[in-house]
Amino acid sequence: MRYLCTVLFLALAVTAHADIYKWVDGRGTVNYTEDLGKVPAKYRKKVTVIVDGGPTPAEVTETVVEPVGQEKKLEAGQKDVDKTPAPKQEKTKTVYGDKDEDAWRAEFKAMRSEIKASEAELAARRTRMANPGTMSRGEYLGVQREAKRLEDTLIGLNGKLNALEESAQRAGVPLDVRK
């Protein structure tokens, strides 16, 4: 019995280290999934497999030209004699595992928002179930089923959040970006 439990534990531990599949769709959006079946068929030939450990973070510097200072207003008949170009201002974006900080923040925010919404929905179902005298047996069983479905959904969402957290950690994303 102990041997069987050990084998099962090791089998589950091995499957926990899934590869991540990355592809770019027709609009140029970079997509990630842990299930190759979720990659659209027309993009499967171009899938990049990210094995456990992931890519190392890269830093990209993007130069954006933005004028600094005030624009001059010219009165009628006056000519602009100052032809010096406006100074350039550089902005840097740090990229972690093919996504910049803003993309990581957005992904974490969306995942946490979805979890929060599901938790609120589950709380509403549990509140309804706390007073079964106001509904029929069929209604109560329906609400109970919905609550179970929401519990399962929350387990899945928390698993996805944990996988995102691990992926961000492997990519070297700082904690302040992940929160």
Q: What is the pLDDT of residues 26-58, one digit of tens each?
A: 888 888 888 888 889 888 888 887 765 444 444
Lowest mean pLDDT: which of 6-20, 51-65, 96-110, 135-149?
51-65
Lowest mean pLDDT: which of 36-50, 120-134, 135-149?
36-50
Given a cut of 90, whether residue 148 has pLDDT beyond it is yes
Question: For position 17, what pLDDT does the model report?
Answer: 54
Question: Can you give the pTM of this predicted structure?
Answer: 0.49
User: How far from each other are the two terminal CA atoms of the chain, in whole angstroms?
Assistant: 42
Q: What is the pLDDT of residues 61-120, one digit of tens each?
A: 444 445 555 555 555 555 555 556 655 665 677 788 778 888 888 888 998 999 999 999
Lowest mean pLDDT: which of 14-18, 144-148, 167-171?
14-18
Question: For position 45, what pLDDT does the model report?
Answer: 84
Strands 58-64, 48-50: pairing is unpaired
Residue 117: how many other CB atoms lie within 10 Å: 11
- For the chain, what is the radius of gyration of the CA atoms? 26
122 close to 151: Cβ distance less than 8 angstroms = yes
E-only strand ranges, 73-159:
89-96, 99-100
Question: For position 127, what pLDDT does the model report?
Answer: 92
Question: For position 60, what pLDDT does the model report?
Answer: 46
Measure the CA–CA gap between 35 and 50, rounded to whole angstroms: 12
Place of tokens 């069929």: 138
Letter for the amino acid at 21? Answer: Y
> What's the whole-number mean pLDDT along residues 144-149?
93
